[in-house]
Chain A
Amino acid sequence: MNNNIIATTSARARILTDEEIAEIDHEIDLYPDKQAVGLEALKIVQKHQGWVSDESMLAISKYLGIPISDLEGVATFFNLVYRQPVGRNVILFCNSVSCWIMGCKSMRAHINDKLGVDFGETTDDKEFTFLPVPCLGDCDKAPVMMVGDDLHRNLSKESINKIISEYKTRS
């Protein structure tokens, strides 16, 4: 089944926060056409809310005057727009070719074991969401992954254990 998220229940637009609006307005100044700000606005809302809910979609659509279906078409096109709630930390795990050669498969299995989640899943405690990501462009330090905004290189089972416990205690 194609599990791409397309809202199925009707939602009411939420109210964008002043901070979100200020950031979206800043982007509006940078482009000649508001449509260009659609993806930026999705990312801004995601930065503040953790993900992009149906209510947020509607709010952005209204604010920018972009038809909601078009905005959804963009949101569901890009890998890094989350249309489902994610954990407090998102692990972007590189599984492209260099990391694969350098053994990312066993690193994935290790994270899977350690957190009890595989790609696309969130831990029960909502601490981590585990996602695959195309080549992160740090191939000479493979295997690599990102947690939040931070890149972690030359992964080993030991370093993964350390990274995970660090983020857990960071709450």
Chain B
Amino acid sequence: MVNKPLTKNIDMSRPPLDMAAYEKNDGYQSLKTISGGLSPADVLQIVKDSGLKGRGGAGFPTGLKWSFVPKSNGSPGQRYFVVNADEMEPGTFKDRLLMEGDPHLLLEGIIIGAYTIEASVAYIFLRGEYKVSEERLKKAISEAYEKGYLGKDIQGTGFDLDIIVHTSAGRYICGEETALLNALEGKRANPRAKPPFPQVSGLWGKPTIVNNVETLCNLPGIIAYGVDWYQGLSLGKDHGTKLFGISGKIKKPGCWELPLGTSIRELLEEYGGGMQEGLELRAFLPGGGSTDFMLPEHLDVKLDYDEIAKVGSRLATGTMILLDNKTCPVGMIGNLMKFFAHESCGFCTPCRDGLPWVDEIFNEFESGRGTEKDLKILHEHVDYLGPGKTFCALAPGATAPLGSGLKYFAEDFERHIKEKRCPYD
């Protein structure tokens, strides 16, 4: 039985599988299952039962998200399905792998999702810099139309679907699903207030689902092989497999599909090969730039949503960024703060005006001019930019490495102040 449903077809040393090869490898099997008599409600139930959680960062149950789309009672009206392929979380490089490595898998996932919520149009909101993904997705889409997996009356189900690739022009905030919808409508990508949620009033005011690439790539397997198979893939409480990546000064940085519930130690040592010679692991961000630091003492924590939450961080994108003992933690956090300050859309006050202040303070620290007063202001901003205070999750995301960093690396901040320079330079 398949145990790596996301990457089974991926070999980056060759082009991705074309339609014929993909189909030969059980591809589009799920469409046959659906056309064999699964209603949208049936698919929704399967996805709910599978326990699949969103892989974009928030980890929200996918089936539950879909269930908020109003019941159609046979006349759904216009609905949209949107793929969040705007991968830009610092340190995150998993969706690129899926889109470049196996574009048909994503398309199959989109067809399942759109069928479930009865959407006739799907947009892939793709990061503009992902040129190879764009080219490969467009080729795969064209093959899918030729094969009758897209277009009118797909596989005799009466279901119509068009998939359109929309390439963005570079803004991290577009990863926030409502900002993404504004961008797709050709507006400035400011997030929208929730409620109303996109499921009720989304793209052009119509019911809309936005899912991450990796989330959707889980669907073909779930439909084709069933819930039991899917739940059997993982080692822990959360189900399925997940892409886990490592960047930083490790021997073999990379991205692997592993069962949820794998230990962090296994990932780092078995797959990453351990830290580079002469370096020690100081701390790591477990799931991209907007997660809290974890420490070596957390290495035996399982890569599960709840397990990581228990130690005060988030699994989020599952792509880890490692901090070694010879890299300045203050500099690393400063780099992240600069990113978040620059990528703030400028809509709400704490994020727009708070993050640049934080960034300025890190500049001072870097050049040896940081003061105790600056440090105090950083601490205040952890609270001020936190959840519930800002309009969206961008600034709260920034407070994750900031807050945990101030806690874990207090001594480093103090040394910058006392020594009036970066002690790592």
**Chain A interface residues toward B at CB < 8 A:** 30-33, 35-40, 42-43, 66, 73-74, 77-81, 92, 95-98, 100-102, 133-142, 146, 149-151
In the assembled complex, the CB of A38 is this many whole angstroms from the nearest CB of chain B, namely 4
Is residue B421 within 8 Å, beta carbon to beta carbon, of the partner chain?
no
Closest 8 CB pairs of A and B: A139-B247, A79-B170, A78-B169, A140-B253, A98-B247, A80-B170, A35-B186, A36-B186
Contact (A135, B248) CB under 8 Å given A77-B171, A97-B289: no
A36 and B91 contact, CB distance less than 8 A: no
Q: Is the CB of A78 within 8 A of B321?
A: no
B339 proximal to A (CB < 8 A): yes
Verify B90–A96 contact, CB threshold 8 A: yes
Q: How long is the Cα–Cα vector from A109 to B238 in the complex, in angstroms?
A: 45
B161 CB-CB contact with A under 8 Å: no
Contacts of B171 in A (CB 8 A): 77-79
Other-chain contact of B92, A102, A135, A150 (Cβ < 8 Å)? A135
- CB-defined A-B contacts under 8 Å, sample of 11: A40-B166, A77-B345, A97-B289, A97-B339, A98-B91, A101-B324, A102-B248, A134-B342, A134-B343, A139-B247, A140-B245
Question: Taking A35-B187, A36-B185, A78-B170 as contacts, is the C-beta distance between A134 and B254 under 8 angstroms?
Answer: no
B249 near A102 (CB under 8 angstroms)?
Answer: yes
Q: Which of A30, A33, A140 has the largest number of chain B CB atoms within 10 A?
A: A140
Give how many B residues have a beta carbon under 8 Å from the other chain's beta carbons: 56
Asked if residues A101 and B327 are in contact (CB atoms below 8 Å), the reply is yes
- Asked if B255 is an interface residue, CB under 8 A from chain A, the answer is yes
When the two chains form their complex, are residues B204 and A101 in contact, meaning their CB atoms are under 8 A apart?
A: no
**Neighbouring A residues of B302 by C-beta, 8 Å:** none
Residue of A nearest to B94 (CB): A137
- Among B95, B322, B335, the residue within 8 A (CB) of A100 is B335
Q: Does B183 contact A (CB under 8 A)?
A: yes
The digit string for B287-299, where 1 denotes a CB below 8 A from any CB of A, is 0010000000000
A141 touches B253 (CB 8 A): yes
Q: Give the distance in Å from the alpha carbon of A141 to the alpha carbon of B100 in the complex.
A: 16
CA distance A127 to B215 in the complex (A): 41
Q: Which residues of B contact A66 (CB under 8 A)?
A: 186
**Cα-based distance from A77 to B249 in the complex (angstroms):** 34
Cβ distance B151 to chain A, nearest Cβ, rounded Å:
14
Cβ-defined contact, B184 with A36, below 8 A: yes
Chain B 248-267 near chain A by CB (<8 Å), digits 1 or 0: 11000111000000000000
Interface residues of B in 198-219 (CB under 8 A from A): 204
Question: A134: which B residues are within 8 A, CB to CB?
Answer: 88, 90, 170, 172, 339, 342-343
**B88, B170, B254, B335: the one within 8 Å of A97 (CB):** B335
Q: In the complex, are the beta carbons of A133 and B170 less than 8 A apart?
A: yes
Sample of 11 further A-B pairs with CB below 8 A, known A101-B249, A101-B321: A30-B164, A66-B186, A79-B171, A96-B90, A97-B91, A97-B289, A102-B249, A135-B89, A137-B92, A139-B90, A140-B93
How many contacts between A and B, using CB within 8 angstroms? 135
Are A137 and B131 in contact (CB-based, < 8 A)?
A: no
Give the segment of B3-11, B33-41, B106-114, B122-130 that binds chain A: B122-130
Asked if B88 contacts A81 (CB within 8 A), the reply is no
Q: Is the CB of A32 within 8 A of B204?
A: yes
In the assembled complex, which residues on chain A have CB atoms less than 8 Å from the CB atom of B332?
97, 100-101
Cβ contacts B58-98/A at 8 Å (1 or 0 each): 00000000000000000000100000000111111101100
CB atoms of B321 and A97 under 8 A apart: yes
The answer to whether the Cβ of B168 comes within 8 Å of any Cβ in the partner chain is yes
- Answer whether residue B404 sits at the interface, using C-beta atoms and an 8 A cutoff: no
A98: B residues at CB distance < 8 A? 90-91, 247-248, 321
Q: Which of B166-204 contact A (CB under 8 A)?
A: 166-172, 183-189, 204
A95 vs B91: C-alpha distance when bound (angstroms):
11
A43 surroundings in chain B (CB, below 8 A): 128, 167, 169
Q: Is the CB of B189 within 8 A of A77?
A: yes
Please give, as numbers and ranges, the residues of chain B lying within 8 Å of A140 by CB-CB distance: 93, 245-247, 253-255
Closest to A35 in B: B186
Once bound together, how far apart are the Cα atoms of A139 and B249, in whole Å?
11
Interchain CA distance A142-B339 in the complex, whole Å: 17
Residues on A with C-beta less than 8 A from B186 are 31, 33, 35-40, 66, 74
Out of A33, A92, A137, A142, which one reaches B185, CB within 8 Å? Answer: A33
Residue pair B91, A96 in contact (C-beta under 8 Å)? yes
Interfacial chain B residues near A149, Cβ < 8 Å = 131
B7 to chain A, nearest CB (A): 14
- Distance of B276 from chain A, by nearest CB (Å): 11
B235 interface residue per 8 A CB criterion: no
| Residue among B186, B255, B339, B345 with the highest chain A CB neighbour number at 10 A | B186
